[in-house]
Amino acid sequence: MKKFLCVLLASAAAATFAGGTNFHNISHAQSGLAEGCKSACLMDARSGEVVFECNAKEHLPIASVCKVMTLTLCFDAVAEGRLGLDDTVTVSEHAAGMGGSQVFLQGGSSYSVSQLIKSIIVCSANDSCVALSETISGSEENFVAAMNDKAEKLGCRDTLFANCTGLPKSPQYSCARDVAVMFANLIRHEEYFDYSKIWLEDFEHPDDRVTTMTNTNKLLRSYPACDGGKTGFTNEAGFCLAATADKDNLRLVSVVLGGGTSDERLEGAVNLFNYGFANYTNKIVLDGTVNLSDELPVSKGKKESIKIRPERNSYVFCAKNDHPEITFNVVTERAVAPLDKGEEVGKIEVYRDGILCDCVPLVCAESAPAANYLDNLRKIADNWPL
């Protein structure tokens, strides 16, 4: 293992630094980034590192931003095979009667899961939220219990949901830090981005009606790096927004709660993003396209060793002027042929300043066929003493 470790450190020399970062040391000059909002949080989506927060654990109403968790449970159900995007949902009269923002579903009619999810992401449709909650959990009450259970599993202990829409109901609350955690978890579902970038689209009903949906996240038009978000507003909650933006391999999540106006909400989110992209970066420490210099020994194969590589890139989040110490620990399994290209044969643990920050599968960069009878005879002959 020491041999592999030395190879990795040599090949990643450009990513080996010295130093450290205190991500929560926010100066007073920066505290006005979300001026006009009651609470704010800026987080690296990949690592979960918080780089700016203001009153981030204060319990506040979040209005429709609670749909971040509604959508999470929908995508979880799809990922687990309990729900298909092409499945149809028959809308109850209760769901069709939801007030507030809606897509005007017709009770008793059927819509695809994909249609309903799209309407939640694009135009914050309350009726679609309830229709999906009843389909997934049998009732909105059961679904809300699952929302709170998921929040607990994510470590969001300053959050309590009372419904799946965010319509005023007591008691329910969250905080900027928890919303950032929940939104970062939601966008790990890549399908989310199939819908989140839609600006304007017609929603077609079975009775040939059409409802035009306009995205409530105005950052899609005003901030080029932004490709997703969830707005919320009630008189009690004020103007709220959870948004994400991606630039130069860095994906950030910004949350602002309790804005006095829509403009203050948007300005706060933009200020957070600009601060994050100006001061932080994701430094690549492992390249998934590059083979390790040393090969992995293989038993019972035509070859005695094969080339191996990380399955994917590994990044370390840090301030642009910071130099964290990056070290690796390589763990390999006993390799026995046959092995397929891409087959996992171990892992590479990535440590930042001595703390485990990533674990990357180690895979075969080539196949290793099993040795046959003639191969074994040839090996015996090659090793026969003269």
pLDDT for 302 equals: 86
Instruction: Calculate the CA 50 to chain-centre distance.
Output: 15
Does residue 19 have a pLDDT over 70?
A: no
Which backbone phi and psi does 186 adopt, to 5 degrees? -60, -45
Does residue 69 have a pLDDT over 80?
A: yes
pLDDT for 301 equals: 81
- Tell me the helix, strand and coil percentages in the chain, rounded to 5: 35, 30, 40
d(CA 131, CA 116): 8
d(CA 106, CA 113): 15
One-letter amino acid at 305 equals: S
| CB burial readout 99-132, b (16+ within 10 A) else e | ebbbbebeeeeebebbbbbbbbbbbbbbbbbbbb
Q: Which two tokens stand for residue 313?
A: 């890139």
Comparing 325 with 19, which gets the higher pLDDT?
A: 325
Q: Give the three-class secondary structure for 9.
A: helix
- Decide if 316 contacts 364 (C-beta within 8 A): no
According to DSSP, the residues that pair with 352 across neighbouring strands are 326, 355
Containing 142, the helix (H) or strand (E) segment is helix 140-153
Phi-psi category of residue 88: left, alpha or beta, with phi > 0 → left and psi -120 to 50 → alpha: beta
Across 344-373, average pLDDT: 92
| CB burial readout 258-280, b (16+ within 10 A) else e | bbeeeebbbbbbbbbbebbbeeb
- In this structure, of 246-250, 261-265, 317-321, 375-379, the range with the lowest mean pLDDT score is 375-379
- In this structure, of 65-69, 94-98, 217-221, 301-305, the range with the lowest mean pLDDT score is 301-305
pLDDT for 35 equals: 87
Does residue 27 have a pLDDT over 80?
A: no
Which backbone phi and psi does 322 adopt, to 5 degrees? -100, 155
- Number of CB atoms found within 10 A of residue 199's CB: 12
- Decide if 282 contacts 250 (C-beta within 8 A): yes
Across 13-42, average pLDDT: 57
Comparing 147 with 334, which gets the higher pLDDT?
A: 147
Comparing 332 with 30, which gets the higher pLDDT?
A: 332
Count how many Cα atoms sit within 13 Å of the Cα of residue 305 in the half-sphere of its side chain: 8
- In this structure, of 69-73, 261-265, 272-276, 372-376, the range with the lowest mean pLDDT score is 372-376
Q: Domain ranges in the chain?
A: 2-19+287-382, 38-279
Q: Measure Cα distances from 97 to 103, 112, 165, 341 in Å.
A: 11, 19, 13, 54
pLDDT tens profile 267-319: 999 999 999 999 999 999 999 999 998 899 998 888 889 999 999 999 999 99
- DSSP characters over 59-75: -B--GGGGHHHHHHHHH
- Decide if 233 contacts 64 (C-beta within 8 A): yes
Q: What is the mean pLDDT of the chain?
A: 90
| Residue 385 pLDDT grade (very low, low, confident, very high; cuts 50, 70, 90) | low
Domain covering 2-19+287-382: architecture = Sandwich (2.60)
pLDDT tens profile 165-222: 999 999 999 999 999 999 999 999 999 999 999 999 999 999 999 999 999 999 999 9
Strands (E), 28-156: 39-44, 50-54, 88-90, 110-112
Q: Measure Cα distances from 41 to 69, 78, 252, 275, 371 in Å.
A: 17, 29, 10, 12, 57
Q: Give the three-class secondary structure for 282.
A: strand
Q: Measure Cα distances from 226 to 23, 229, 238, 243, 254 in Å.
A: 23, 8, 22, 7, 10
Does residue 135 have a pLDDT over 60?
A: yes
Q: Give the three-class secondary structure for 240.
A: strand
Containing 179, the helix (H) or strand (E) segment is helix 176-186
- DSSP characters over 294-308: SPEE-BSBSSSEE-E
Which backbone phi and psi does 315 adopt, to 5 degrees? -120, 150
Looking only at the bridges linking them, the beta strands covering 355-364 and 308-310 are antiparallel
CATH of domain 38-279: 3.40.710.10
pLDDT for 4 equals: 40
pLDDT for 32 equals: 77
Does residue 251 have a pLDDT over 60?
A: yes
